Chain A
Amino acid sequence: MQNATPVNSAGAGTRRTLLADYGPTYGALAALVLLVLANALLTPNFADVNNLRNILLQVAPTVLVAVGMTLVIATGGIDLSVGSVMAIAAALAATNLERGLLPAVLLGLVAALAVGFINGALISGFRIQPIIVTLALLITGRGVAQVISRGGQIILIDNRNFMSLGKGFVGPVPMSVLVMLLVVAVAIFVMRATSFGRYVVAVGGNEAAARLAGVKVHRTKIMVYALSGLLAGLAGLIEAAKAEASDATKVGLYIELDAIAAVVVGGTPLTGGRVTVVGTLIGALIMQVITTSFNMLGIGFAWSLVLKAAIILVAVYIQRPRVA
């Protein structure tokens, strides 16, 4: 009624819709390009291939977690437990490596998936707020990880095959970066082309309407939390492989905050209903470039935090709901 939009030509309509759709993502992309260009000019050695590869290496675990977080946030939820899930997966894999690579890796991933499933089941089945449920799992999870690590010991890893997950290369590309790119690509495909992807945004956009259209709301919610858990588990394994050790008190600490920041800066609103996986990748890269460049320029780490905070606020301001 009030928003009857007469559109003259189909072409104009398309362009407008596209802009409205991808506005925040384009904004983030522009910011990233700007950051990279400025650093390439001003920061010595920034444009060096090794440095760029290093940035990707460092950002990979965050991106994996953030992709899962993107799906969760698209349904209007949040997952604070990801860091603890990483620690659980890392601890389980590290303590079971003597049984062989495959059992260790599988054990880690299955446990991570299970924790995510518990999150989803509690949130969906008992209607407890996501922030509470996943906060509980964040606290419990870290405890569980320390118990698995024989009371919080650092478990050293000396399985070369496992370590290649964090340190290995496929041609010139680090293994973990390859995994990250693969996950991002699959996530983009899932959100664009599958009915599950459609359900995720439908649930986040209007849960009541989705339910009445036959969308299995419970199942969808459980799935996104389970996926978030699984991806966090994968990130945990990579972290452990990179460090050649699993430290249950450190692995994935505060990563939930980095992941949420990447999602928000990338253009997926916390209210759910819209999603951009590419945006999340860009958001995570922006944060990493800031950290790396400040480090290289010898500016205090504290200042990079201030700049990140400013970027998050600007991103949220740009995305604020427009009054029709």
Chain B
Amino acid sequence: MTNEPVLRMEGITKIFSGVTALSNVSLELERGEVHALVGENGAGKSTLIKIMTGAYTRDGGQMFLEDREVDFRTPEDAQDEGVVAVYQEVNLLTYRTVAENIYLGREPRRFGLIDWKRMNAEAAALLKRLGLDIDPRAPLGSLNIALRQMVAIARGVSFNAKVVVLDEPTSSLTEHEVQILYDVIRRLKSEGTAVVYISHRFDELYTVCDRVTILRDGKFVATRPLAGLEKIDLVCLMLGKQREELRQGTTAFKYAGAAAGETPLMSAENLKRGRKLNDVTVEVARGEIVGMAGLLGSGRTETARAIFGADNVEAGEVRLEGKTIKRGSVNEAIDSGIAFLTEDRKAEGIIPELSVRENLTLAALPALSTLGVVSRARQQEIVDKFMKRLGIKAANADQKIRELSGGNQQKVLLARWLCKNPKFLILDEPTRGIDIGAKGEIQSLVGELAESGLGVLMISSELEELVEGSSRVVVMRDGQRVGELRGDEISQDNIIRAMAEGTTGEATAASTATAHVTDTTPPAAEPPSKGA
């Protein structure tokens, strides 16, 4: 690998209507390197990529392509210069052929007409160069997702690409297909193309990438060679923690910790869903708050959704009070007493045009109605009770929920479940993006609920919240459960270490860089029917 930079971005700043998304970020890509770009939510990865590939214009900073200052106004500008992005959702035409897709918009022409022969020949040569056995005349729709993605990459490469950005390229691929992708990446690399690789999976980063640039909250944190960078240091850089530093006493939990060991209230066993969830087992006892830690894409939310029946799993069983819950049925989960506060309030929580009252009672309507007619009196009673209990600040119950602050919206959504008297509550990032006051109120409420016997599974990116709120912390990485911390073991330090390396031997095998090789078994067929 030579060390000449292909692309340099210096002091890049981007402001969206007053909010700084990127502040003074730098990135340098060398010829023939695979460069990982990592960061948690809101780090600014996609903004940076969009500026690099001309989809956004920057508000400050400079960009150099092979030491020449460039200024891409549109993605076409960037493509013409050989800087292309291949996005997660493949944006290609299903009913056109592979060759047409690759050369869409710049088909080779002869006498003004498309030169099909040349186009197909060139496409065939290109695919061969990438080591792909794909017929350029095949309609794209006849290929599976992985091959379509490879076609998308081939399209990118066909612009004489100097820089190819791959945004979460493996998210819809199987283990075998990931290997094909790796092969393509290695070929690009050997041709001197710089590849920017965005992924949340550590196993992939360590397998395929040379260097990593870490962003956090729109700021540049560091660029490091991956060889020799300990995972724990990488996690610390992503989360903005010092390895030695430990802070405590900043959240509002007053929770002593429950006695573990009794029969679990909820047990989820061996949940499996593609590469997103691999044999995940979680148990929660009555009155217990179990924290769940993990980086973005580690399988935290997937676990929650699997337990709640929101996604279909290929294998696994969820039991509440010993009773098996039908797989993939939200209504079964709700009826048996499970509640789920989603991570994405806007997309999966609020019904924006409905009032606070209607949002709050949405899940409880069956209990509030007689022959389908909602009892106004009972509805009002519940709404009054929970607005008061949770301190929901709204003009009145008829105000539309979209007009409320994030914290108050979250309280309404929490009330939506609490008014059903659930037995087990799943909280996915319960305090993200809400003000300090509401945050403390929600945290102490969750503590009180647990004391009164509710079981809680709390997913959070905030380590303080997990350390102070949980009696146990389950740690996830790359779709697997890699550790569990109890009692005195629960500290930010240990959580970070577990996120990076796994803990108590339960997953040491999975913590090596070759983890992906260990589970190459094809997606298991449905297991024999679930027992009693």
Q: Which residues of A contact B (CB under 8 A)?
A: 1, 3-5, 7, 10, 12-14, 17, 20, 193-196, 198-199, 201-202, 205-206, 208-216, 273-274, 324
Q: Pick the residue among A4, A10, A206, A211 that contacts B396 (CB under 8 A).
A: A10
Q: Are B369 and A209 touching (Cβ within 8 A)?
A: no
User: Which residues of the partner chain A approach B225 to less than 8 Å between Cβ atoms?
Assistant: none
| A to B CB contacts below 8 Å, 24 in the list | A3-B404, A4-B405, A5-B395, A12-B395, A13-B399, A17-B355, A193-B373, A193-B374, A194-B373, A195-B368, A195-B369, A198-B354, A198-B362, A206-B350, A208-B347, A209-B349, A209-B350, A210-B362, A212-B340, A213-B362, A214-B362, A216-B331, A273-B351, A273-B352
Proximity bits, B279-302, A CB within 8 Å = 1, else 0: 000000000000000000000000
Partner of B362 from the list A5, A17, A215, A324 (CB cut-off 8 Å) is A215
Task: Please indicate the chain B residues that have their CB under 8 angstroms from the CB of A199 in the complex.
Answer: 365
- Determine if B403 is an interface residue (Cβ-Cβ < 8 Å): yes
B402 at the interface (CB under 8 A from A): yes
B249 within 8 A of A: no
**B372, A196: Cβ atoms closer than 8 Å:** yes
Interface check B278, CB cutoff 8 A: no
Is B350 a contact of A195 with CB atoms below 8 Å? no
Q: Which A residues touch B373, using CB under 8 A?
A: 193-195
Task: Please provide the chain B residues from 348 to 376 with a CB less than 8 Å away from any CB of chain A in the complex.
Answer: 348-355, 358, 362-363, 365-366, 368-369, 372-374, 376
Does chain A have a CB within 8 A of B433? yes
In the assembled complex, the Cα of A208 lies from the Cα of B368 at a distance in Å of 22
Whether B354 and A201, one on each chain, are in contact in the complex, defined by CB atoms closer than 8 angstroms, is: yes
List 13 additional A-B contacts (Cβ < 8 Å) besides A4-B405, A193-B376, A194-B372: A3-B404, A7-B399, A14-B396, A17-B398, A194-B369, A195-B365, A202-B351, A210-B351, A212-B308, A212-B342, A212-B348, A213-B362, A214-B362
In the complex, which of the residues B351, B358, B405 contacts A1, with contact meaning CB atoms closer than 8 Å? B405
- Determine if B27 is an interface residue (Cβ-Cβ < 8 Å): no
Chain A nearest Cβ from B354, distance in angstroms: 6
Give A45 to B210 CA distance when docked, in angstroms.
86
Q: Is the CB of A206 within 8 A of B351?
A: yes
Which A residue's beta carbon lies closest to that of B19?
A2
Among B342, B347, B372, B395, the residue within 8 A (CB) of A13 is B395
The residues of B that contact A194 with a CB separation of less than 8 Å are 369, 372-374
- B181 interface residue per 8 A CB criterion: no
Interface pair B366/A195, CB less than 8 Å apart: yes
Contact A201 B372 (CB under 8 A): no
- Out of B351, B402, B406, B434, name the residue touching A209 (CB < 8 Å): B351
Query: Which residues on B sit within 8 Å (CB–CB) of A4?
Result: 404-406
Q: Evaluate contact between A205 and B352: CB separation under 8 angstroms.
A: yes
State in angstroms the CA–CA spacing of A273 and B369 once bound together.
21
User: CB distance B351 to A201 under 8 Å?
Assistant: yes
**Which 10 A/B pairs are nearest by Cβ-Cβ distance?**
A13-B395, A4-B405, A195-B365, A7-B395, A205-B351, A214-B334, A1-B406, A273-B353, A213-B363, A5-B403
* C-alpha spacing A37/B403, complex, angstroms: 38
| Beta-carbon contacts under 8 Å, B321-344 to A | 330-331, 334, 340, 342
Q: Is B241 at the interface (CB under 8 A from chain A)?
A: no
Q: How far is B374's CA from A133's CA once the two chains are assembled, in angstroms?
A: 33
Q: Are A17 and B395 in contact (CB under 8 A)?
A: yes
The reply on B155 being an interface residue by CB < 8 A is no
A271→B521 CA distance, assembly (Å): 45
Of the candidates A195, A196, A212, the one whose C-beta lies within 8 Å of that of B330 is A212
Interface residues in B, total, Cβ within 8 A = 41
Q: Give complex CA distance A7, B434 in Å.
A: 19
Inter-subunit contact B353/A212 (CB<8 Å): no
Given contacts A195-B365, A195-B369, contact A3 B396 (CB under 8 A): no
- Contacts of A17 on B, CB cut-off 8 Å? 355, 395, 398-400
State whether the Cβ of B92 lies closer than 8 Å to any Cβ in chain A. Answer: no
List the A side residues contacting B374 at CB < 8 Å: 193-195, 198
- Residue ID in chain B nearest A210 by CB atoms: B351
Q: A3: which B residues are within 8 A, CB to CB?
A: 402-405
B310 within 8 A of A: yes
Which A residues are CB-close (under 8 A) to B354?
Answer: 198, 201-202, 205, 273
Contact B330 A211 (CB under 8 A): yes
Q: How far is the CA of A199 from the CA of B361 in the complex (A)?
A: 11
Indicate with 1 or 0, residue by residue over B404-439, a CB within 8 angstroms of chain A CB atoms: 111000000000100000000000000001100000
Q: How far is the CA of A22 from the CA of B362 in the complex (A)?
A: 22
Query: Are the C-beta atoms of B331 and A205 separated by less than 8 Å?
Result: no
Chain B residues with CB below 8 A from A208, complex form: 347-348
Contacts of A13 in B (CB 8 A): 394-396, 399
Give, as a whole number of angstroms, the nearest-CB distance from B342 to chain A: 6
How long is the Cα–Cα vector from A213 to B347 in the complex, in angstroms? Answer: 13
* Complex interface: chain A residues within 8 A of B402 (CB): 3, 324
Q: Please report the C-alpha to C-alpha distance between residue A213 and residue B309 in the assembled complex, in whole angstroms.
A: 12
Contacts of A274 in B (CB 8 A): 353
Contact A205 B353 (CB under 8 A): yes
Q: Once the chains bind, are B405 and A214 in contact (CB under 8 Å)? A: no
A209, B347: Cα distance in complex, Å: 7
Instruction: Closest B residue to A217 by CB, please name it.
Output: B330
Residue among B351, B366, B394 with max Cβ neighbours from chain A (10 Å)? B351
Q: Separation in Å of the B103 CB from the closest CB of chain A?
A: 31
- Tell me the bound Cα distance from A205 to B433 in angstroms: 22
Report the bound CA distance from A209 to B368 in whole Å.
20
Assembly CA distance A324 to B334 (angstroms): 33
Which chain A residue shows the least CB distance to B402? A3
**Interface residue from B334, B347, B365, B400 paired with A198 (Cβ < 8 Å):** B365
* A202 in contact with B403 (CB, 8 Å): no
Which residues of B have CB within 8 Å of A7?
A: 394-395, 399
Closest residue on chain B to residue A274 by CB atoms: B353
Please, which residue of chain A has its CB at the minimum distance from the CB of B403?
Answer: A5
Q: How far is the CA of A5 from the CA of B404 in the complex (A)?
A: 6
For B350, B376, B398, the residue with the greatest tally of chain A CB atoms inside 10 Å of its CB is B398
- Collect the chain A residues with CB atoms within 8 Å of residue B330's CB: 211-212, 214
Which chain B residues (305-329) contact chain A, with CB distance < 8 Å? Answer: 308, 310
Residue numbers in A under 8 Å from B353 (CB-CB): 201, 205, 273-274
Q: A213 with B416: in contact, given A5-B403, A195-B372, A273-B351 (CB under 8 Å)? A: yes
CA distance in complex: A193, B358 (Å): 11
Which residues from chain A contact B351 at a C-beta distance below 8 Å? 201-202, 205-206, 209-210, 273
Q: Report the separation of the CA atoms of residues A1 and B372 in the bound assembly, to the nearest whole angstrom.
A: 35
B395 x A14 contact (CB < 8 A): yes
Chain A residues with CB under 8 A of B350: 206, 209
B372 touches A14 (CB 8 A): no
Complex alpha-carbon distance, A274 and B331, angstroms: 25
The CA of A274 and the CA of B352, in the complex, are separated in Å by 10
A214 and B331 contact, Cβ closer than 8 Å, known pairs A1-B406, A194-B369, A208-B347: yes
Chain B residues, CB < 8 A from A216: 331
Complex CA gap A198/B349 in Å reads 16
Taken together as a complex, chains A and B put the C-alpha atoms of A301 and B352 apart, in Å, by 42
Which B-chain residue is minimally distant from A15 (CB atoms)? B395
Residue of A nearest to B342 (CB): A212
The distance in angstroms between the C-alpha atoms of A213 and B415, with both chains bound, is 12
How far is A10 from B348 in the complex, measured between Cα atoms in Å? 29
